[in-house]
Amino acid sequence: MSIVLKLWSLYVRGTNRWPVIATIVPFIPVVALWSIAANSGMFPRAFFPAPADVARTFVALTYKGILPDYLQDSLIRLLTGATIGVVLGIPLGLLIGSSKWAHRVCWPVLLFFQAIGDIAWLPILLIWFGFGLTTMTFVIVYTVLFPIVLNTVLGVESVHRDLARAAQSLGASRMRVLWEVTLPGALPNIITGLRNGLGYGWRALIAVEIIVGTSGIGFMMFDARRAGSTVEIILGMIVLGTLWYIVDAWILAPIERATGRRWGLVTS
């Protein structure tokens, strides 16, 4: 057996046992290329730093405590916004989804306000609330809310009518049907909505931190931009990408798959 086959076998078995490897290995050649390009002197170093520079800055900023602090600020903002979005969004979605009239009245309004988009609210929010936490939270809630509401409505509508009828004929009250049938039935869609919402919310947070900017990863990046420090910008991007990748690929996507697959609501 050739050495190539042996290595391949090792890789396949390794990734099968630890899927993380399959996620990390593809980045090795990219970082290597990046390193070669940066060290070749094709671009000025200040414009295009090498991986080693970014790693050094990472260590330095972590040691000084700036990076952990900013990261914490960003995450708390996102989490607060997302929680409020979920608490408001799910009941609203259930209401709109289970009443034909509410649906008719609210759906166009929802689509329109979703179309305005979070960032476009910033100027008027700044007039209303000033540069502060309220403005940031409002934007995040706004961003997270729509995907959750729209997907909850879709979820409620996807629940088969016979399921609700079955529950009613087994003696469930309207509230019980909502709690025992509609909500679990819509859950896969709700989680998809949450996943999309957080994806948009994350980006909105960065924009808000750049514009409103007092602290946070977005602020760090834009502050670095003002100082012309590419290293910190790239570090910020890597932190953002990595963090979101972990949250999305290892937490949200598995939950989405688990609810959908387990119940056989999603095939493939």
Per CB under 8 A, residues contacting other proteins are 1, 5-6, 8-9, 11-13, 16, 22-27, 30, 47, 104-109, 111-113, 115-124, 126-128, 154, 157, 199-200, 203-204, 206-207, 210-211, 221-222, 224-225, 228, 230, 233-234, 236-237, 240-242, 244-245, 248-249
183 within 8 A of 163, measured Cβ to Cβ: no
Residue 85 or 167 with smaller CB distance to other proteins: 85
Contact 141, 88 (CB under 8 A): yes
Closer residue to other proteins in complex, CB, 56/203:
203
**Nearest to other proteins of 180, 248 (CB atom):** 248
CB under 8 Å to 123, separation ≥6 — which residues?
none
Smallest gap from residue 176 Cβ to other proteins (A): 27
Considering Cα of 156, then 159, then 162, then 167, what sign does the dihedral take? Answer: negative
Nearest distance, CB of residue 179 and other proteins, angstroms: 24
The residue whose two tokens read 């409103």 is 212
Q: Among residues 182 and 192, whose Cβ is nearest to other proteins?
A: 192
Longest dimension (CA), the chain: 76
**Packing angle of the helix pair 51-64, 230-247 (nearest 10 deg):** 80
**118: DSSP letter:** S
Residue-wise over 232-253: b if at least 16 C-beta within 10 A, else e?
bbbbbeebbeebbeebbeeebe
Q: How far is the CB of 146 from other proteins (least distance, A)?
A: 11
Cβ proximity to other proteins: between 167 and 209 the closer is 209
Q: How far is the CB of 92 from other proteins (least distance, A)?
A: 15
Asked if residues 255 and 190 have their Cβ atoms less than 8 Å apart, the reply is no
Min dist CB 170 to other proteins, Å, is: 29
Q: Least distance (Å) from other proteins to the CB of residue 82?
A: 17
Pick the closer one to other proteins by CB: 22 or 170.
22
- Rounded Cα distance, 268 and 262, in Å: 12
